[in-house]
Amino acid sequence: MEKKLLKGTTTVGLTYKDGIVMATEHRATMGTLIAHKKTQKLFRITEHLGLTTAGLVGDAQVLARYLRAEAELYALKRNTPITVRAASTLMANILNARKYYPYWVQLIIAGVDDEGGHVYSLDAAGGSIPDTYVTTGSGSPYVYGVLEDHFKENMTKKDTVDLAIRGITAAMKRDAASGNGIDVATISQKAGWNWISGEEIEKRISAMGLK
């Protein structure tokens, strides 16, 4: 039954001048039922790599564990962190190997390495596409509307976090499968992984007049 829960989602990954921002909302639905209000859809894989998930809960959780384990093994064997491109290729190969009995997910893998910040969108068949910003899930059309209007290359971290929050908030207002709060994390070369607190997110929402 757990694998049937997560049907609608909104997630986003964006690059900024010194790193990346990832954000998701919390709601998991089962048909018209709001099954869970505190679903984790944003996963810290390493200090410099993150994953967002849209799709079936069981598949998403298994793939997050796979990627975390493989990233740790990569670092142990090579004495260097896995690159974002390598992590994306690895996950794409896992998905492609199961495309006739697939993991029902749409993923964002994002992080920083020696070449800068990167965001990759992965589909259930193993396609892996790099971009400057990506959004997934049932609320993604609303987020894309916000990003197309407001995203710019080399934005500051503050402006990029605000834009991610603005996009997720827009989706929660129109997509019934998205809601119940927002998770946001940033990754930079200097600071590594950093969660934005719920209190800070609420302050930003109020400051932008999004309530």
- Residue spans of the domains in the chain: they are 2-207
Q: What is the pLDDT of residues 21-74, one digit of tens each?
A: 999 999 988 888 888 899 999 999 999 999 999 988 889 999 999 999 999 999
Q: Are 29 and 6 in contact (CB under 8 A)?
A: yes
Sign of CA dihedral 172, 173, 176, 179: positive
- Per-residue pLDDT averaged across 73-90, rounded? 96
Q: Which of the listed CATH numbers 3.60.20.10, 3.30.1370.60, 3.40.50.2300, 3.40.640.10 matches domain 2-207?
A: 3.60.20.10
Q: Which residues are catalytic?
A: 9
**Separation CA 10–CA 135 (nearest Å):** 7
103-138: pLDDT as tens digits: 889 999 999 999 999 999 999 889 999 999 999 999
Task: Give the tens place of pLDDT for each residue, 3-22.
Answer: 444 457 999 999 999 999 99
Task: Tell me how far CA of residue 185 lies from CA of 60, 104, 138, 142, in angstroms.
Answer: 18, 24, 21, 21
Are 134 and 108 within 8 A, CB to CB?
Answer: yes
Higher-pLDDT residue of 100, 86: 86
